[in-house]
Amino acid sequence: MSKAENKRRILGPLIPGLTSLAKKGPSGWMVIIGTIIVLALVIMTTIGPWTTPHDPIKYHGPIRTPPSPQFPMGTNHLGQDMLSRILCGGSIMLQVSALSVIVCFLVGVPLGLFSSYVGGIFDRIVSLVIDAIYAFPGLVIAIAVAAMLGTGVVNMALSIAVVYIPSYFRIVRSQVLTIKELTYIEAARATGARWHTILFRYIFPNVIPSIAVVASINFADAVLTAAGLTFIGLGVTVDVPDWGLDLTSGRALIASGAWWVIAFPGLMIILLALGFTLVGDGLSELLNPKLQR
Amino acid sequence: MPILEIDSLIVDYRTSRGTIHAVEDVSFSLEKGETMGLAGESGSGKSTLGLSMMRLVPYPGVIAKGHIKIGGTEIIKLPEHEMRTIRGKKVAYIFQDPMTSLNPVKKIGEHFVELIRTHAPNTGKEQAFERAKDILKNLGILPERINDYPHQFSGGMRQRIMIGLAIALNPVLVIADEPTTALDVIVQAKILDLLESLRKIYGMALILISHDLSIILERCDKLVVMYAGHMVEYASSTELHERPKHPYTQGLLQSIPNVELSDQRLSAIPGSPPNMLDLPKGCRFWPRCSYAMKACKVKEPPLISVGRDHFVRCFLYGEEGTNVERNRKS
């Protein structure tokens, strides 16, 4: 079997899906490009440990070497190879951001739906608690929670989730407040629909586009917050290669002219955040039938 | 047995500034296949009355007193899960604004499937889809469009779909709450014709709520005129058209444009409806009534019979007003 044939066999089923997305116009392309970016970074990180030219956590001698044939992205202040660290440094961020988005979604969305739909004193109390969390700067809360929980991927994800649950809650709640007064909800009630049917079949699908936007911002911000947590030592231990760790440790080296230590991890984080944002924005348009062509 | 019986119904809105009797002392009944009109200005309690028949009066509204019987079943005290089997199946409601009455993220077909399966959970999806297609055909909408989203239809088409949803389960009573207010005049006539022809096919009773007396007079067997929560007149359409008794009804009839008398100025009823929290003492209409007497300002007039199936809430036709009526005619 020739190489070209093999390629066609693998990409074959993908092409119809891609072309139908491409037909949806700019928003379809945004989803495609965003997905490609995120997928590429996920694959790169997954196979990273086997593709690195050097050991990412071993000290290779010369510190702060500018990019050269031997070290294409230079070395950092400890003499570690930056290229190797870039190739496998995304794993923590991807895990943390994915996990935190899942936790936020599972807690914030149902809470917002119920609280807003039920209303009354229950809604008041939940809103007050959530607003109290919302009033703090995000990173401060994340640091406080992380300090209580300790280090590790799950704990980082949880502390980031605490910061973002209010965003989900508030978006969902305000949307439900508007939607539940619309005539089609009343019409659904007039056809004898049960409350959970109304909540999950009528209200929830209309909230999804807004949630998709929050989730994309959440993904992008989780990446940055994870970097911040790592910086103050509440993230992962220093023997795990991580873009956030490199970014924050590289900040001190700018003054000495070692731009490559901060530039490459920074670019990777931006790229990842961009990928998530593209997917989120594209989806929010695609999922809204009113904006469909 | 009448399909709908309402007896001395009172519906309140319990607001923080006081209790409003949005519907007060309303009684009427409706037989199978009959059409009844509910006329009145905005805020006169027509929609509240319509919604109370499904027990869907929005918060802070409550049905305070009275009886509502649908097919002989008293619904006021019915538990919620039994009420749900009545909504949509026995009584259907068509809302005023077709633009927001359909779920924007659901295809038209799914609306029908959802409705049919709510009341008959064992119906297959295919079966429900077939039923939906049949209904669409009756509505004059191509069955192929079953997979389109609501925003792909015009206002008139959406209202036709709402009508289709209302009749899908063959209810005994359809309440149409100003079904044509959001539509232009030509579409209006078509929608009302459709409603009437479907009513004949399915043999259901229809309550048409409208502020437009001309529509109701043309299409309904009998009608109720509401003013500030009160039923002020109740009669058959022909009787009401020929012998309107209540000054308010007379005013409404005079304010309908007449094509043949184009050079005549249209008359209007002076003033505006009362504040429901601060009702005038006595008859609620007296501040705007040109026949107001002393008695009107003191006592609330009772609903009295002034002919066969003709009731009016006005002192002009009671003992106090016999003379006045004679004088007025001259």
| B141 domain-assigned | no
CB pair distance less than 8 Å for A184 and B119: no
Cβ-Cβ contacts under 8 Å, B59 against chain A: none
Q: How many angstroms separate the CA of residue B218 from the nearest CA in chain A?
A: 27
Mean pLDDT to the nearest integer, A99-125: 92
Whether residue A22 is predicted with pLDDT greater than 60 in this model: the reply is yes
pLDDT in tens, A183-203: 889 888 888 888 888 998 889
Q: How many domains does chain B have?
A: 1
Count Cβ atoms below 10 Å from residue B154 Cβ, excluding itself. 12
Give the Cα separation of B169 and B291 in Å (integer): 48
CATH number for the domain harbouring residue B154: 3.40.50.300
Quote the pLDDT of residue A165. 92
Task: Check residue A172 and give its pLDDT.
Answer: 93
The region of weakest confidence among A205-209, A231-235, A253-257, B174-178 is A231-235
Chain A residues touching residue B85 (CB < 8 angstroms): 192
Residue type, A224: L
pLDDT in tens, B221-280: 999 999 998 999 999 999 988 888 899 998 888 888 777 766 667 777 888 888 888 888
Q: Cβ contacts (< 8 Å) between B92 and chain A: which residues?
A: 190-191
Distances (CA, A) of A292 to A93, A239, A287, B110, B145: 33, 48, 8, 18, 16
For residue range B98-145, what is the model confidence (pLDDT) as tens digits?
888 898 888 999 999 999 998 988 888 899 999 999 999 988 899 999
Segment A164-184, tens digit of pLDDT: 899 999 999 999 998 988 888
Domain membership of residue B310 (yes or no) is yes
For A:206-265, CB contacts with B below 8 A are 206
Q: Which residues on chain B are in Cβ contact (under 8 Å) with A182?
A: 100
User: What's the pLDDT tens digit per position in B149-164?
Assistant: 998 999 889 999 999 9
Reported as a pLDDT band with limits 50, 70 and 90, residue B329 is very low
Q: Are B112 and B132 in contact (CB under 8 A)?
A: yes
| Distance (Å) from the alpha carbon of A120 to chain B's nearest alpha carbon | 12
| Chosen from B59, B86, B101, B170 to mutate, greatest number of chain A CBs within 10 A | B101
B115 touches chain A (CB under 8 A): yes
Chain B residue closest in CA terms to A291? B151
Q: Is the pLDDT of residue A7 over 70?
A: no
d(CA A189, CA A82): 60
Would you tell me how many other CB atoms lie within 10 Å of the CB of residue A195? Answer: 12
Give ipTM to 2 decimals: 0.77
Which of A118, A184, A290 has the highest number of chain B CBs within 10 A, making it the mutation to test binding with B?
A: A184
Q: Which residue of A has its CA nearest to B50?
A: A190
* Confidence (pLDDT) at A5: 62
Flag if B103 and A183 touch (Cβ within 8 Å).
Answer: no
Q: What is the pLDDT of residue B325?
A: 46
Coil, strand or helix at B95: coil
CA distance linking residue B315 with residue B300, whole number of Å: 9
A192/B89 touch (CB, cutoff 8 Å), yes or no: yes
Which candidate from A187, A290, A292 shows the least CB-CB separation from B101?
A: A187
> Hey, what amino acid is at B182?
A
> Would you call A191 and B97 a contact, using CB atoms and an 8 Å cutoff?
no
Chain A positions in Cβ-Cβ contact with residue B82 (cut-off 8 Å)? none
Could you say which of A192, A202, A206 has the minimum Cβ distance to residue B87?
A192
DSSP-based three-state secondary structure for B106: coil
Residue B134 covered by a domain: no
B214 is written with which tokens?
């001309």
The model's confidence at residue B326, banded by pLDDT at 50, 70 and 90, is very low
Q: Taking CB atoms and an 8 Å limit, are A190 and B92 in contact across chains?
A: yes
Rounded distance, CA B305 to CA B318, Å?
9
A183 interaction partners in chain B (CB closer than 8 Å): 95-97, 100-101
* pLDDT at A166 (0 to 100): 92
Of the pLDDT bands very low, low, confident and very high (cuts 50, 70, 90), residue B12 is very high
Any domain includes B111: no
- Put simply, whether A184 touches B (Cβ < 8 Å) is yes
Q: What is the pTM (predicted TM-score) of this model?
A: 0.76
Q: What pLDDT was estimated at residue A30?
A: 87
Band of residue A221 on the pLDDT scale cut at 50, 70, 90: confident
B311-312/B304-305 β-pairing: antiparallel
Residues near A149 by beta carbon (within 8 Å), at least 6 away in sequence: A155, A158, A159
Domain residue limits at B298:
4-105+149-329
Q: Which of B157, B158, B175 is nearest to B166 (CA)?
A: B175
pLDDT at A293 over 90: no
pLDDT cut 90: percent of chain A above it: 16
**SS3 assignment, position B139:** helix
Q: For A52-94, what is each residue's pLDDT tens digit?
A: 777 777 777 677 777 777 777 777 777 787 888 888 888 888 8
Q: How far apart are CA A32 and CA A18, in angstroms?
A: 7
B92:A184 CB<8 A: no
Give the confidence band of A1 by pLDDT, cuts at 50, 70, 90: very low
Q: Does B112 touch chain A (CB under 8 A)?
A: no
Interface probe, candidates B52, B55, B103, B170, chain A, greatest A C-beta count within 10 A: B103
Taking an 8 Å cut-off on Cβ atoms, the answer to whether B87 and A189 are in contact is yes
Q: With cut-offs at 50, 70 and 90, classify the pLDDT of residue B330.
A: very low
Contacts of B118 in chain A (CB under 8 A): 191-193, 197
**What pLDDT sits at residue A23?**
74
| B142 domain-assigned | no
**Closest Cα in chain B to A181:** B58
Q: Taking CB atoms and an 8 Å limit, are B84 and A194 in contact across chains? A: yes
pLDDT digits (tens, 9 = 90+) for B170-205: 899 999 998 888 788 888 888 899 888 888 888 899
**Is B102 in Cβ contact with A187 (below 8 Å)?**
yes
B131 found inside a domain: no
Tokens 């006005």: give the residue.
B314
- Domains, chain A: 26-46+87-291 (1.10.3720.10)
Q: Place A3 in a pLDDT band, splitting at 50, 70 and 90.
A: low
Provide the pLDDT for residue A220: 76
